[in-house]
């Protein structure tokens, strides 16, 4: 995943309403109206959140008769998860090396 797209995914997920929408779409498609139901905000505000999610690649909108159902695009989440996991492994290895080095220093100091 390109850096710009990864930035867009994390920016989109930085908002709790957008995270809620992603969580809702993980259970299946929904219309904008259905996604807006739990929120005390205008349809325009919900549509703006959806546009941010769509630009990030996290969701897409289809066309079914008169509606435009939204659906989750798991590939964008998979790419973000892959980046997170890679970072976790890198930091875990660094912490392990630091712990080993500190143990060696402690052992040297005890002698």
CB 10 within 8 A of CB 77: no
Domain with 58 in it: 3-110
In tens digits, what is the pLDDT along the chain, a chain of 111 residues? 588 889 999 999 999 999 999 999 999 999 999 999 999 999 999 999 999 999 999 999 988 777 789 999 998 888 899 999 999 999 999 999 999 999 989 998 888
Report CA Rg, the chain.
21
DSSP-derived secondary structure letter, 57: T
C-beta separation of 32 from 46 below 8 A: yes
With contact defined as beta carbons under 8 Å apart, do 72 and 9 qualify? no
Number of domains in the chain: 1
Indicate the pTM of the whole model: 0.78
Q: Report the CATH number that the domain containing residue 18 is assigned in CATH.
A: 1.10.10.10
């Amino acid at each position: 995943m390109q850096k710009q797209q990864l930035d867009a995914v994390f920016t989109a997920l930085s908002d709790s309403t957008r995270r809620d929408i992603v969580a809702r779409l993980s259970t299946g498609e929904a219309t904008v109206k259905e996604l807006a139901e739990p929120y005390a905000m205008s349809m325009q505000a919900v549509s703006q959140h959806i546009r941010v999610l769509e630009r990030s690649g996290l969701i897409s909108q289809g066309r079914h008769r008169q509606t435009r159902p939204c659906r989750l695009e798991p590939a964008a989440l998979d790419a973000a998860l892959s980046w997170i996991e890679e970072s976790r492994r890198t930091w875990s290895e660094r912490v392990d090396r630091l712990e080993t080095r500190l143990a060696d220093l402690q052992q040297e100091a005890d002698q």
